[in-house]
Structure formats: C-alpha cells, structure tokens
Structure 1
Amino acid sequence: MLESVVAEMWAVAQFGPPLEMTQAETMQTVQEDTWLNASFWANIALAGVSILLFVYMGRTVTDPRAQLIYVATILVPLVSISSYLGLVSGLTISFLEMPSGHALAGEEVLTMWGRYLTWTLSTPMILLALGLLAGTNLTKLFTIITADIAMCITGLAAALTTSSYALRWFWYLISCAFFLVVLYVLLVEWPRDAELAGTAEIFNLLKILTVIMWFGYPIFWALGSEGLAVLEVATTSWGYSGLDIVAKYIFAFLLLNWVRNNERTIAETSTTFRTETATPADD
C-alpha cells in the first residue's frame, strides 16, 4: 500500500498533475515561452501591415474579377490575424495527453489546434484567388476548394485524436490524400487554363511558391510534437509561422501587385471565362 502511494507521488512529482488549465493559465504558459510567443506575435504584426498595404494597393482596381481576387486575397491576412490572436490568448490552444506509442506517450503536450481553423478558412481563399487568376471553370474550383477544406479538417482530426497513435497517423494519411488532389489541380489542370487566359507567367510563379510552401506543413506535422516529436513545440510553431509568412503575405503581395498592374488582362480573362463555360442548350 505504502509503495503504491509513494509510486503515485513520484509520478506526480515527475510529470505533474493532469493539466486542466484555464484560458488565462494557458495564455500565461504561452507568454512564459518567449520563443513560442514570438512566433505568434510576428504573424499578428505582419498580418496587420499586410491588410493595410493590400487595401491601399487595391484602391484603384475597378474590374469585378480583379476586385474579387483582391477581396479573396485580403481575407487571408484578416483570417490569420484573428487566428493568431486566438493562439496568443490561449483561446485556441489545449494540452492533450499523447497516446501510447507516441514518443511523448502519457505526457500533456501543447496542441495549437487553432492553426487548423486558420488554414480551413484562409487556404480556400488562396486557391480561389489562384483559380480566378487562371481563369478556371467552376467544377475545378469546387473540386480543389472542397479537397483543401477536407485536407485541413482531417489534419485537425489527426492533431486531436488521443485515443490511438495509429489513428493519428491514419488521419494524417487521409489528409495527405486530399492534398494530392489539390496538387493535381494546381500542377496539371490550372496551368493549362492559365495559358489560355494569358496569365501563365505569374500563375506558374505563384503555383511553385504555393506547392513548395504547402509541402512544409505536413513535414512539420510529422516531425513536430504531434507526430514523431523530433522538434519541440516552439520550433514547430516557428516552422508553421515561417511558412505562413511566405505562403500568405509574400504570396499575396506578388499576386495583388501583378493584378494591379495587369488589370486589363484580368478583365479579358473574365470575358474568356464566361465564353468558355457557357454551353448553349440543346434544341
């Protein structure tokens, strides 16, 4: 009996009591980790600057299709600044006990599940802007956006599953399968559309940038605390934040700057889009 009590006390001393932390306590934990906290505030600052810059850049754009590209793209930093405020405040962060088989099995690990909400809302806007730039049709646009949302949601499921280590990786593989659909449309279907629309040069640049950056997310998931736990939480967070900076803000600036200087091409793409997708009814 005494041995069991001593063993329990030793476990508590070693791992601490179960972490059922309040939001304020979670926020304090984030603030105490300077490296982790900085990964959030860097994006908040850059998102704020990006919003002001992009609104200023779009003030003279008049073509409806170009305006839609601007609206979709500006929504990306708007979603990001909201999401990162959720992370830094402890609202969208939780401590989850890792399942048996995980490198940190039995330990409470900080899980930044709010990032998945960001990606679920922001990455479809990126794809919408790219699809409009390429002059694609609604079927391809619907396919890639739904696959993208499914990719983010199944990634969230992988991060939140604590009942089975194997199921975490199964969710991860499902998410990667949806990612392959996104890659197919980006790399195979839309380049042909962009050639017809006359936007191939800028589209191919943004396509390469997007594909390279988006590959980084599943890699950091696999190496981070949610996967193999090779990287620490703060390092993983900076990995995600760095990818967000390039895949969102730099991407958005390149896209919107080109649209602003080539609005006539976008307007012609709009006409081409309606002509190609309109099919007369059979008599």
Structure 2
Amino acid sequence: MIIDPVDVLKKTTSAHLIPTAVPTSVPGLPPVLPDPIEKQFVGEDGKRTLWVVFVLMVIASAAFAAMSWRVPVAKRLYHVITTIITIIAAISYFAMATGHGTAIHHIRIRHQNDHVPDTYTDVQRQVFWARYVDWSLTTPLLLLDLSLLAGLNGAHMLMAIVADVIMILTGLFAAFGSEGTPQKWGWYAIACIAYLVIIWHLVINGRAQAKVKGDKVASFFVAIAGFTLVVWTAYPIIWGIADGSRKMSVDGEIIAYAVLDILAKPVFGAWLLITHARMPETNVDLGGFWSYGLSREGALRLGDDDGA
C-alpha cells in the first residue's frame, strides 16, 4: 500500500498543530472577552406603578375641578392652579406608562487594571425625560400657589420660579451627563444651589409676608410650605441614588418618585383647597379681569360701591 505523505501531514496538522477554540482564563486576571452590556430598563412593577399614578392624577384632577364649581369664580384661583398641576402630571404619567417620553442614556464605565489593559463596561439606562417636562411646568405652579398664599411680591415670586426652572433643567442635563467627568455632578451642584434659592425665598420672605396676613395664615403657610420642602428635598436624594450613581433600579426609581409626586401634588392640593375654603384670609384679590374679563374691566358692578 502506498502512503500519501500529504494525507499524513494533514491528519497530523489537524490533530496536533491547530489550537482549539476553547476559551481559557487565568485566575486573577480580567477576562479577555468584552463584558456584556448592562441594560437598566423599566420592569413590570414600574409599568404598573406608572398606570396607577396616572389614574390617581386623573381622579385628583376631577376632584379639584368639582371643588372649584362650588365656589365663585373670584375664589377659584387656587383651584385652577392646583387642577392644572394634576392634569399635567396625569399627561406625563400617561406618556411614561405608554412607553413615550423616555430615552436611553449610554454610559461607558472604565475599569483600571494594573497588569493588563483597562476594561470597560457599557451600561444602558432608561431615563424618563417626560418626568422633567412635568416638573418644569408643575413645580413653578406649586410655587405660585405657595407664593400667593404667603403674599409674596412679584420680584421674590419671579426669582423663586426662575430658580425652580433652573433646578429642573440642570437636573435633566445631569441625568444625561457624561460619566467620569465633572459635567454630571457639576449640573447637579447647580441644581442644588438653585434649590437653596427657592428655600430662602419661601422660608425667609414667604414666612415674613404670611405673618402680615395674620397668625392663622402664617401657621398654615409654615405647615404646608414645610411639608413641601421636606418632600422636595427627597427628590435630589432619589436622583443621586438612581440616575446619579445608578444604585437604584429603574423600577425602584419610578416607585420612589411616584410616592413623592402623590405627596407633592394630590395631597398638597387637597390640603391647600380644603384649608383655603375654611380660611377667608387666604383669598387673593385679582381684580375684575379674573372674574369678568377685559370687556367689563373698570365697569361699575353691583356690590362694588355702596351706592350701587
């Protein structure tokens, strides 16, 4: 039998010379293969929470609107503002519950190693930007409620509202900030400074102006403003744990914010409107335009003068 040396060489090469593709690892060294992408998305608990809060905001809006129908137009200012707050929140939660108002923030985390090249971990976290749109509209209205209750002047009211908008927008910028740079926490620091400006206007100026309206109004303002500030202080804490350091899951973030939103909007609104109905000192005189429109502004109305 004739042996073909080419066949022998092929068999020897295939059996002994070609290395196997079985991956190996050395203890103490990071794996050579890239790390899988870590996806931090909303789960079933988060989705259910979004729908529940949407329903609660709709119910609160309907309740506040019904309460406004029981009082004259001249006394509906707080009702109108508070109803708008919960309507905007309901729209925001509907958007988030249906999968809109969200974006994916890609984060690349670098791991430094001593004896081998650095490795990286890619994280994709879901950020609900609809929440920031909600806050940028509703928190100024909440401040407007408190400012009118205290009797703040226009200058202090405007500064508090501007600081509030800055706080929300810089919080949004921080949520999409780059990892490992001063950018992310720089925006967060600006947001915290803006929040301190809001606190200063409410605690110092608001409290002083509320005392002018009487002890009852002052006591109520201190109670409801203090409640609001405690709730609002929890927001940046949750942000730091969730979007900031990503130590909280997206579902946990949604549930935490949901509890705070319920306290800051429906609970706040119900407390304000029920107390306002029992405390005439909290009424705000907006003149004839609010009740009668421009066409009758300045006209003599029944009850305006003694001789009417």
Q: TM-score, normalised by structure 1?
A: 0.81
Counterpart CA distance in 1 for 2:218 and 2:108 is 47
Of 211, 219, 227, the residue aligned with 1:209 is 227
Number of residues paired by the alignment? 249
Q: Deviations over 1:231-262 (max 9, x none)?
A: 11111111111100101110010001111222
Of 194, 198, 218, the residue aligned with 2:236 is 218
**Residue of structure 1 in register with 2:128 after alignment:** 112
Establish whether residue 78 from structure 1 lines up as the match of residue 87 from structure 2. yes
Counterpart CA distance in 2 for 1:105 and 1:227 is 17
Identity %: 27
Counterpart CA distance in 2 for 1:123 and 1:265 is 24
Residue identity matched to 1:216 = A
Q: Deviations over 1:174-221 (max 9, x none)?
A: 010100000111111101111112311221111111010000110001
Higher share of residues assigned helix: 1
Residue identity matched to 2:146 = L
Counterpart CA distance in 1 for 2:156 and 2:73 is 23
**Residue of structure 1 in register with 2:50 after alignment:** 40
Counterpart CA distance in 1 for 2:59 and 2:260 is 17
**Structure exhibiting the larger radius of gyration computed from Cα positions:** 2
Residue identity matched to 2:230 = I
Establish whether residue 245 from structure 1 lines up as the match of residue 254 from structure 2. no
Of 173, 185, 198, the residue aligned with 1:182 is 198
| 1:121-140 equivalent positions in 2, closer than 5 A | 121-140=137-156
RMSD (Å), alpha carbons: 2.6
Gaps of 5+ in 1: 1-5, 20-28, 272-283
**Residue of structure 1 in register with 2:66 after alignment:** 56
**Residue of structure 2 in register with 1:15 after alignment:** 37
- SS of the equivalent of 2:245 reads coil
Counterpart CA distance in 1 for 2:176 and 2:182 is 13
**Residue of structure 1 in register with 2:19 after alignment:** none
Higher RCO (C-alpha 8 Å, min separation 6): 1
| 1:88-103 equivalent positions in 2, closer than 5 A | 88-100=97-109
- SS of the equivalent of 1:51 reads helix
Is 2:37–2:121's contact at 8 Å kept on the other side of the alignment?
no
Is 1:58–1:70's contact at 8 Å kept on the other side of the alignment?
yes
Counterpart CA distance in 2 for 1:243 and 1:126 is 14
| 1:266-281 equivalent positions in 2, closer than 5 A | 266-267=282-283, 270=285
Q: Deviations over 1:119-148 (max 9, x none)?
A: 000000101011111111111110100100
**Cα pair distance change 1:161/1:259, threshold 3 Å:** same
Gaps of 5+ in 2: 1-22, 24-31, 112-119, 287-308
- SS of the equivalent of 1:106 reads strand
